[in-house]
Structure 1
Amino acid sequence: MNVPPPSPYPPSYYPGFPPPRPSPGGSRKVVFAVVAGLLLAAAAASNLLWFFASIFASDSCGTSAGTARFCDDSGVWMLVAMFGPMVTLAAAVATVVLGAERLRRPWTALALGVLVYATGPALALFTVFG
């Protein structure tokens, strides 16, 4: 019968190393992630509602209520009104991610991202209502 040789180390009677301490800025990162996630969800819902409304915005182009810019024959401004908020949302997400990771300024990057995003719906409203 082969019996393994005894271990050269004594048995351990202690639990091992203590668990690592949480990082000092851990709770702030969670708060930032929750706030950024809520703002992203609100912006995405707003974009979906704006996209839905902009589909029907061209109904007034045959009447005097339509603006000349939105109702031109090229359809470029209609595309700006439909997809402008989505493009600025992508730019805002990139601004927040790059600002939070590269510059280590998450709250400043979040404020800048909100301003970048706000230009899309503002441009779309200006396009439709002149």
Structure 2
Amino acid sequence: MSFSPPQYPPPYGPGYPPPRPAQGSPLKVVFVLVAVLLLVVALVVNGLLFFGTLFAGDSCGTSAGTQRFCDGSGWESVAMYGPTVALAAAVVTVVLGAVRVRRPWAGLALGVLVYAAGPALALFTVFG
């Protein structure tokens, strides 16, 4: 009496070899979601600062206006466009950190710091 050899691979269970899970894909999705959320927040902050600097010159005739902002030396343009330039620099920093250096979270943290310089400069310019 002879037995037939077993089928290869067995007809039950996963195929041989079992599929490997994708390496790091959930972490990449979380990184992209956090980066997009921070970008949306930065765009809202930039819009509010731009809107605020449109009316910041109204106080230049009173004692409430700062000398730096009201003397016509171009600081009002720095206050208005500085956050946008900082946002562009932050996006470049995050993309380079994620693609070239392969350190996405460090690049994201550095991008947040680069972006924070723009609104800080704008607020310092308007409020002294």
C-alpha displacement at 1:18, in angstroms?
A: 8.6
Which of 91, 113, 116 does residue 115 from structure 1 map onto? 113
Does the residue aligned with 1:63 lie in a helix, a strand or coil? coil
Does the residue aligned with 1:95 lie in a helix, a strand or coil? helix
Residue identity in the other structure for 1:92: A
Equivalent-residue separation in structure 2 for 1:53 and 1:19 (angstroms): 59
Residue identity in the other structure for 1:126: F
C-alpha displacement at 1:24, in angstroms?
A: 1.3
Show the counterpart of 2:27: 28
C-alpha displacement at 1:22, in angstroms?
A: 4.0
TM-score, normalized by length of structure 2?
0.84
The CA RMSD over aligned residues, in Å, is 1.9
Structure 1 residues 72 and 23 mapped into 2: Cα distance closer, same or farther (>3 Å)? same
Which of 101, 109, 128 does residue 99 from structure 2 map onto? 101
Equivalent-residue separation in structure 2 for 1:89 and 1:18 (angstroms): 47
C-alpha displacement at 1:23, in angstroms?
A: 1.8
Which of 72, 85, 88 does residue 86 from structure 2 map onto? 88
- Structure 1: runs of 5+ lacking an equivalent: 1-16
Residue identity in the other structure for 2:72: D
C-alpha displacement at 1:73, in angstroms?
A: 2.3
Equivalent-residue separation in structure 2 for 1:36 and 1:42 (angstroms): 10
TM-score, normalized by length of structure 1?
0.83
- Structure 2: runs of 5+ lacking an equivalent: 1-15
Does the residue aligned with 1:70 lie in a helix, a strand or coil? helix
**Equivalent pairs, count:** 115
Aligned residues with identical type, % of pairs: 70
Alignment of 1:59-74 (within 5 A): 59-74=58-73
Equivalent-residue separation in structure 1 for 2:60 and 2:21 (angstroms): 60
Does the residue aligned with 2:60 lie in a helix, a strand or coil? helix
Equivalent-residue separation in structure 1 for 2:40 and 2:109 (angstroms): 16
Deviations 1:45-78 (A, max 9, x none): 110011001000000000000000000123x100
